Amino acid sequence: MKNSMLTILIALATFTLTFAQSEPITINGKKALPNGRSFPTIGNRIPQNNNKTTTITHLEIPKILPNDIIIRHAGYSLLYDEQHEQAKWVAYELINAETHKVAKRTNKFLPDPLVKTNSANDSDYAGSGYDRGHLAPAGDMGWSSVTMAESFYYSNMSPQVPAFNRGIWKRLEELVRTWTIEYNAVYVVTGPVLTKDLSAIGPDEVSVPKYFYKVILDYTGQDIKGIGFILPNARSGNPLQNYAVTIDSVEKFTGIDFFPALPDIQEEQIENSLCIPCWSWSRATK
């Protein structure tokens, strides 16, 4: 009897541990994105002492506060800031296969239908002198017609100086795609640095950021690593390496907690270190 009871207890403990490790994190109680696309799980495995792995879903999503409402599109998720009429952050995983474009750039800018308070629109940018700068680039969303179309929602736009948008910001976007191909998949969180002292454009008073940020996590192999960038919203011919910082530095600058789903020790190691030579920079200056 004792042996039978012991066997049952061991089995129950094993089931409970397995369930706890595999239960996915949910946002607003949902586990899948629109259009039938599940949140990506490529490259998000953590080696365990028992040679097993645990899946971390939604690894790209920053820390969510109680009143935050996360908007999810087929290729990216975002947190909309109504005060500034743009996203506080946009997050997505980009995998190698998604760098192969199958949809043409639409250039059709539209209000985001999922922003209940209404997003910015054409009138806000008209005659402003600023570009409608993508946060999740159209170049990362060409893997389907749906993702391409949604990349042009105004919730994914922020006022950018034209020379910045078409210059160093574009170079960084292209570099991230290169890293995606080299490392198989990367997690990206990007956005404007939103503060109280910003000027604004248009009837909806869309804030004009002074800085933009981007953090990237390579979590596909043994050599996991992270890197951050903080760039002034201005023309720059400097190397991208000049703007590389630790992810912890971006957290302090923006007040956003990135990659909170990582184990605490691992998160601290990745976010407090910056290894420039660990990344490929062959396309950083082109």
What pLDDT, on a 0 to 100 scale, did the predictor assign at position 65?
A: 95
What pLDDT, on a 0 to 100 scale, did the predictor assign at position 57?
A: 87
What pLDDT, on a 0 to 100 scale, did the predictor assign at position 266?
A: 93
What pLDDT, on a 0 to 100 scale, did the predictor assign at position 284?
A: 74
Q: Which residues of the chain have pLDDT under 70?
A: 1-55, 285-286
Structure tokens at 84: 């500034």
DSSP 146-176: HHHHHTTBGGGEEEE-HHHHTTHHHHHHHHH
Structure tokens at 128: 């402003």
* Domains of the chain with CATH codes: 31-278 (3.40.570.10)
- Positive or negative, the CA dihedral 206, 207, 208, 211 is negative
Taking only the tens place, the pLDDT of each residue in 160-187 is 999 999 999 999 999 999 999 999 999 9
Helix axes 264-271, 247-254, angle to 10 degrees: 90
Which residues does 102 contact at the CB level (< 8 Å), separation at least 6? 142, 143, 144, 145
Q: Which of 238, 232, 241, 239 has its CA nearest to residue 279?
A: 241
Burial of 260 from C-beta contacts in 10 A (0-12 / 13-18 / 19+): middle
Rounded to whole angstroms, the Cα distance separating 12 from 19 reads 11
- Residue 194 · residue 169 · CB < 8 Å: no
- 3 state SS of 247: helix
Catalytically active residues are: 134
Q: Which of 152, 131, 132 has its CA nearest to residue 141?
A: 152
Task: Name the maximum alpha-carbon separation found in the chain.
Answer: 82
DSSP summary character for residue 188:
E
Structure tokens at 114: 């999922």
What pLDDT, on a 0 to 100 scale, did the predictor assign at position 56?
A: 83
Residues in the chain: 286
> From the CB of residue 261, how many other CB atoms can be counted at a distance below 10 Å?
15
- Residue 71 · residue 155 · CB < 8 Å: yes
Rounded to whole angstroms, the Cα distance separating 174 from 178 reads 6
